[in-house]
Chains A and B, each alone.
Chain A
């Protein structure tokens, strides 16, 4: 039984790794297609039918480029930087409950790699160390534009982490657990948290945009001020890892938002499938991925619609708008929770 357990987890880890990378690769394709559609262009259409081989061509190009290290760069940190960025993007997918349990070969297979009872805190821990990849990469390049990008990234991430954490606390309060699977199960059917916590969702969503360095918060890499931001000096697959980790982070943060606010793999009418758990698992998985893709679409839609913030506007929004809103929302949630439990 123990060996089966490890084999299950190992297979799940490998599948998750491949899915995350595959989705990230095709996100680049859809990003460009969507940008083309919004700007009334055609977009990439040379590689394969409708250009669907474009991500593979991009990957091959990235690998074949010269891997250049600046002579004054801190060699080891220069290599470690993109690695940390990619690692922190990928590791969060380990705690996400992807679907209801599968029943195969007479055993119950959980579609979650690690069932932590501190699940959501683990996600925040990983987010908070995610900034090291950018900071180390930007500093070790020994370039002033890179350093500016790294400093912007770190101050932005520290500022928006607070509002993000406070808005997530409301979800912990109403579901009474830090475990992501329990949070999902408390939203069974259509009982989603978004109906109770719309304000927290808006704050969380804005902070997720900022944490993944997506427009309108892409100041760490804004090309018309900082050349390339923190990855100015990077080339070849090291640059590829930085760019790729942003897309993986987008995928994972969409999954987290779907879990916290949109019921994860829950969908209305789940009770009809209680007889056949495998069908339920497959349906739940597809519903979950549908929600994730919708979020990714909104992320891209925002990028091609809203212009970038100025840095003081960014700080103003983070500290003077989002944090007070999240705090007031948390206090109201606390009072309502205490009232409905009859504590006073």
Chain B
């Protein structure tokens, strides 16, 4: 009873802070609200007994990726004067296409939500590290290794792009 109440409160707060990401005027504040959103989502993971997922979400998203976002935004010195003016027509198009996407997603997912609502809540050990490791390295070992190769190739590509000018000069 209490846990479902907490889940609902966390979900509401996550939604509210996600809305604040797009409603706040200043980009740095948007990023900070996004960080807050990640914390609430981690809270939801904890309520679903997925502690490992929750903490990795915080380490990777809130702790690394968002720090880089903030890092770049702080250097850009954005303010009211430098904000580009968008014409009315593109605003209208953006709103209507976003709304259409929302309707499509709602139509596609409205039955899925009800079916998967309580999934994992009853099993007490579903999200623990041991279970996760066993699953990853037995059933899903091939996709897991392939995704790690994908990450390495992305990393090598990023370094190559960053070093490209020096290579040409040499």
Residues of chain A having any CB pair with chain B under 8 Å: 77, 116-118, 121-122, 124-125, 127-129, 131-132, 135-136, 139, 147, 150-151, 154-155, 157-158, 161, 178
Contact residues in A for B58 (Cβ distance below 8 Å): 125, 128-129
Asked if A128 meets B52 with Cβ closer than 8 Å, knowing A136-B32, A151-B75, the reply is: no
Q: Does B129 contact A (CB under 8 A)?
A: yes
Contact residues in B for A147 (Cβ distance below 8 Å): 74
Name the distance in Å between B22's Cβ and chain A's nearest Cβ. 19
Contact A118 B64 (CB under 8 A): no
Name the distance in Å between B111's Cβ and chain A's nearest Cβ. 34
Contact A118 B51 (CB under 8 A): yes
* A162, closest chain B residue (CB): B64
Q: Chain B's interface: helix, strand, loop or mixed, by majority?
A: helix
Contact A118 B67 (CB under 8 A): no
Contact A131 B74 (CB under 8 A): no
Q: Chain A's interface: helix, strand, loop or mixed, by majority?
A: helix
Contact B71 A151 (CB under 8 A): yes
Q: How far apart are the CA atoms of A77 and B75 in the complex, in Å? A: 17
Contact B74 A150 (CB under 8 A): yes
Asked if A128 meets B129 with Cβ closer than 8 Å, knowing A121-B56, A154-B71, the reply is: no
- Residue from A117, A129, A147, A151 whose CB has the most chain B CB atoms within 10 Å: A129
Name the distance in Å between A271's Cβ and chain B's nearest Cβ. 30
Contact residues in B for A118 (Cβ distance below 8 Å): 51-52, 55, 129
The contact string, 1 if C-beta is below 8 Å from chain A, for chain B 66-83, is: 011011001100000000
Sample (5) of A-B pairs whose CB atoms are under 8 Å apart: A77-B32, A125-B55, A125-B63, A129-B62, A147-B74
A-B contact count, CB below 8 Å? Answer: 60
Residues of chain B having any CB pair with chain A under 8 Å: 28, 32, 35, 51-52, 55-56, 58-59, 62-64, 67-68, 70-71, 74-75, 128-129
Which of B51, B56, B62 is the one whose CB lies under 8 Å from A116?
B51
Q: How far apart are the CA atoms of A125 and B57 in the complex, in Å? A: 9
Name the distance in Å between A5's Cβ and chain B's nearest Cβ. 16
Name the distance in Å between A169's Cβ and chain B's nearest Cβ. 13
Contact A129 B63 (CB under 8 A): yes
Q: How far apart are the CA atoms of A132 and B71 in the complex, in Å? A: 10
Name the distance in Å between A341's Cβ and chain B's nearest Cβ. 14
* B52, closest chain A residue (CB): A118
Contact residues in A for B62 (Cβ distance below 8 Å): 128-129
Contact B67 A158 (CB under 8 A): yes
* Closest 4 pairs between A and B when the two form their complex, measured CB to CB: A128-B63, A125-B58, A121-B55, A125-B59
Contact B55 A135 (CB under 8 A): no
Name the distance in Å between A149's Cβ and chain B's nearest Cβ. 12
* B77, closest chain A residue (CB): A147
Name the distance in Å between A272's Cβ and chain B's nearest Cβ. 34
Contact residues in B for A157 (Cβ distance below 8 Å): 67
Contact residues in B for A158 (Cβ distance below 8 Å): 64, 67-68
Name the distance in Å between A21's Cβ and chain B's nearest Cβ. 25
Contact B128 A117 (CB under 8 A): yes
Contact A132 B35 (CB under 8 A): yes
Q: How far apart are the CA atoms of A66 and B74 in the complex, in Å? A: 28
Name the distance in Å between A311's Cβ and chain B's nearest Cβ. 15
